[in-house]
Amino acid sequence: MTPAQSLTMSKTIGIIIFPDVEELDFVGPWEVFTRVGPTECAVFTVAQTTGPIRCSKGLRVLPDNTFDNAPKIDVLIVPGGVGARTTQLENPAMLDFLRLRCASASITMSVCTGAFLLEKIGLLHGRRATTHWWRIDALRSLPGVTVENERWVDDGNIVTAAGVSAGIDASLYLIGRLWDKPLAARIQKDMEYFPEPPSSS
């Protein structure tokens, strides 16, 4: 398939949100994928209920869909945050939704500690993965996961990104993989996403 042909294929990007989700973990991928264009890429959020979601830093968001009415998802994005490593790990509705939709999605991508939700449902067993640097050792301590200290790790239909802003990197990478690299480069330029920290000291 040529890049021109692949650009005509519309894809759906479903981004899970939940109480105490880290804002940039899901807003970063949202920003990247919505720049592909509405005819090639439909992006929406999914939560357990229709009520407002209070994120980790206080941002409030209204989900587009619920677990019960979410449409088909080609790429499922699972962000992290406090909720991903506490309440959601013990939330049967979340875990059941992940099991169901990860099985039907072409690609599942976690950001930051969203990797722990994938591990909880057994999706990282025998896989390579990464997460936020602060939680690398915790993920490495779990059986069956080969943890790599990288910005993102591509293991076929499972892609995991490190902390927070790494979700932007992984999303750009996936655009290059699913559509083409020139499109990813254009989006990166449009976003002026060329990180240059003011100081490394």
What residues contact 69, with CB distance under 8 A and at least 6 apart?
A: none
Using CA atoms, how far apart are residues 3 and 176, in angstroms rounded to an integer? 10
Please, what's the b/e burial string for 129-153 (b: 16 or more CB within 10 A of its CB; e: otherwise)?
bbbbeebbeebeeeeebebbeebbb
Active-site position among 41, 55, 102, 112? 112
Give 198's Cβ-side CA count (13 Å radius): 0
Identify whether 112 is a catalytic site residue.
yes
* Spatial distance between the Cα atoms of 91 and 89, rounded to a whole number of angstroms: 6
Active-site residues: which are they?
112
